[in-house]
Amino acid sequence: MVFISRILVFVCMAALGVMISAPSEAFGSEIRRRIYLQAEEALGKGQRQDYLARRAELGDYVLLPYLTQQDLEKRMGLGISGEVRSFLREHDGTPPAEALRRSWLALLAKNAQWSRFVEDYRPQNDENLQCFYGQALLATGRRSEAMDQAASLWLSGSSRPKSCDPLFNAWIKEGGLTRALTWQRIELAMQRGQANLARHLWRHLAPADAQWLDYWLRVDQNPALILERDWTTVTHDRMDAILAHGMRKMTRADASRAAKEWDVLRRRNGLDRARFAAIENDAALYMCLRFEPGAVARVESIPQDLRSDSVREWAVRAALREQDWGAALHMLDGLSVTQKEEPRWRYWQGRALQENGRDREALVVFETLAERQDYFSMLALGHLGRPMVVPHIPLAVTDDAVRRVGKLPALQRAAELYALERYGPARREWQQAQPRFDAEELAAAAAWAHGLGWHDRAIVATAAAGHMTDLELRFPVPHSEIVFAEASATGLSPALVYGLTRQESLFMSDVGSSAGALGLMQIMPQTGKRIAGWHGEKLSHPILLLQPERNIRYGTSYLRRQFDDLQNHPFLATAAYNAGQSRVKGWLPSSLMPADVWVETIPFNETRNYVEKVAAYTAIYETRLGKASEIPGARLPLVRPRG
């Protein structure tokens, strides 16, 4: 009754010519959203007449295509092909149309309606639909295109769905599968650890080749077999791949031993170093990754022109881990010209010069980094004895530009979906629209999203526009009451909580990771249950972690625990938040270590980048929150050894 009376009030105001202000427009939008939800509910319950009545009330509401899509999905069948195809034409390229297209193509394939399938097909990520498209091309006489599609789908290191079998069978029958393509797929499968797929492909090989695949599969189980063979007489064209595979498996188990075994094997069989440089680099890389004794010397044993970029970088890190600053400077000199220009290695050039007593040269290097607004700028400023100053320069965009971009159909749909808290579909609308924006539209879209409180899109658009100095857009402060309350309760810096949350989720409260972490601070369900116990609560369902208040409360509690267990050190704590406490304890040094060195030598690229970004974001948030500037270097306690 309350809802009906509000509609009547609105209608009467409009009939009397009462000017509808911005709040009244919002009231009108709210009415339409409620009707939309009622129509959706009626459709879901199969109450078609009620659905049609509610739909009629919506007029030209921007989310009408989503209702139509759901209606057509429910009635999906060949009998409504005219309605479906008309919808696909009218809304081509929009998320609801592409969702319907996938269902429609699956139905056409099921009913072998291949001509229609080809007409209505658009490039898809779905492997089944890609394979059905190949079948459709074949069935409609476009054999050359079908054979090309088959060859493209064949080259995969994973098994393809059964829907590909008819296409593959036709392709093989026509002689499309060559010896080279068979071996290429076997190699891809072995690289991905898909030995069963490689074994399945055995039937496509001639007997002489099949023997070598059988040997390769045995090497996969027992890599030491490669040490027993005389390779001087082997001429098979997969020799290199088999040798590399066996050595790679040995290297993962024991890099130092593998390196020694390879030296013996290479010399005994007269194997060319350049030809097998990847094997030498792999062994050296894993020795560096594990900071094994002799890692730097191993890298030095590889000729400069044969070293990979990864090995060059990890040799620097191995020297840093040993705090051998002379070796570090030498390894830095061995980086490529491009690598030397990267802020990371410029910073370490400065540090190595500093530790080798060449302070004046070091300060010159640090000055070149000082104006950046990143982790290495923050560290460089510490060595220069200057606070980090982050200027706020608002995005230069006019109100008219913001209004224009807000009227784009895709963003109107996105705004309504966002208002309905359907954040995933809202982001899909944005993602389809953004690639078509020019620089001015990107800037306007960033300001428009910020006005909605849609922080993740504002951050994304601002970065895409290349405007990195608008702190309000790039570093928003949502849920401030909760963040400040929980930061105070746990003794954490609000800037750190914001910096970590920005890195974890870009402030998307609904987001879930591929690993299963949920919400603003990306908490795993099992971890959430444990944290709930600390608070005397029960987490009855993982979906509760999507609640901002609970997620921030649990996330700050968990972060506080990392501080308490790991020397009260911000770098150790943030690393543990990302990679787990047990891993971080395993990465602790054997003696006191500078914090910047410890971060640089984190073995996981993801965790190292994570710690660096959280540190930089925290420094920027301190400026954003009005905290007095400090010299960053003063806040970097040494990392103590394990034990």
469-510 residue pLDDT tens:
999 999 999 999 999 999 999 999 999 999 999 999 999 999
Query: Phi and psi dihedrals of 523, rounded to 5?
Result: -105, 130
Split at pLDDT 50, 70, 90, the class of 88 is very high
- Tens digits of residue pLDDT in 605-639: 999 999 999 999 999 999 999 886 566 665 689 99
- Report the pLDDT value the prediction gives residue 558, as an integer from 0 to 100: 99
Q: Given pLDDT bands bounded at 50, 70 and 90, which one contains residue 8? A: very low
Q: What are phi and psi of 151, to 5 degrees?
A: -65, -40
> pLDDT grade, residue 643 (50/70/90)?
confident
Model-level pTM? Answer: 0.91
Model pLDDT, residue 642:
85
Could you tell me which of 348, 338, 347 has the C-alpha nearest to residue 369? 347
CA angle 327, 333, 336 (to 5 degrees): 135
Give the pLDDT of residue 632: 64
| Per-residue confidence (pLDDT) for residue 629, from 0 to 100 | 59
What integer pLDDT is reported at residue 102 of this predicted model? 98
Mean pLDDT value across residues 433-452: 96
Compute the distance between CA of residue 506 and CA of residue 509 in angstroms, rounded to an integer.
Answer: 9
Distance CA(441)–CA(443), nearest Å, equals 5
What distance in Å separates the CA atoms of residue 151 and residue 176, rounded to the nearest whole number?
A: 7
Q: How far is CA 407 from CA 412, 413, 415, 451, in A?
A: 6, 10, 10, 14
CA angle 66, 72, 75 (to 5 degrees): 145
Q: Among residues of the chain, what percentage have pLDDT more than 70?
A: 94
The band of 26, judged by pLDDT with boundaries at 50, 70 and 90, is low
Task: Give the pLDDT confidence score for residue 607 in this predicted structure.
Answer: 98
pLDDT for residue 388: 87
* 26 vs 14, higher pLDDT: 26
3-class DSSP assignment, residue 95: helix
CATH number of 29-172: 1.25.20.10
Q: Which of 261, 504, 612, 622 is catalytic?
A: 504
Q: Which CATH number fits domain 480-625: 3.20.140.10, 1.10.3720.10, 1.10.530.10, 3.40.50.150?
A: 1.10.530.10
What 3-state DSSP class applies to 302? Answer: coil
- pLDDT of amino acid 325: 98
What are 48's two structure tokens? 């078609």
Annotated catalytic, 504? yes
Report the alpha-carbon distance of residue 374 to residue 371 in Å, rounded.
Answer: 9
Q: What is the pLDDT of residue 14?
A: 36
Q: What is the mean pLDDT of residues 182-206?
A: 97
Q: What is the pLDDT of residue 5?
A: 37
Residue 76 in tokens: 């999906």
pLDDT tens-digit readout, 529-556: 999 999 999 999 999 999 999 999 999 9
Q: What is the mean pLDDT of the chain?
A: 93
Task: Decide if 104 contacts 84 (C-beta within 8 A).
Answer: yes
In this structure, which amino acid lies at residue 622?
E
pLDDT at residue 389 in the model: 86
Q: What is the mean pLDDT of residues 341-352?
A: 98
469 in Cβ contact with 391 (< 8 Å): yes
> What is the predicted pLDDT for the residue at 636?
83
Tell me the mean pLDDT in the region 231-251.
95
The pLDDT value recorded for residue 342 is 98
Quickly name the fold that domain 399-468 has: 1.10.1240
pLDDT of 12 strictly over 70: no
Q: For 265-281, what is the mean pLDDT?
A: 93
Of the candidates 359, 291, 365, 356, the residue with the CA atom closest to the CA atom of residue 325 = 356
Secondary structure (H, E, C), 166-183: HHHHHHHHCCCCCHHHHH
Chain segment 576-594, per-residue pLDDT in tens = 999 999 999 999 999 999 9
Whether 236 has a pLDDT exceeding 70, the answer reads yes
DSSP helix/strand/coil, 523: strand
**Residues 292/319, Cβ–Cβ less than 8 Å:** no
Lowest mean pLDDT, pick from 14-28, 233-247, 278-292, 319-333: 14-28
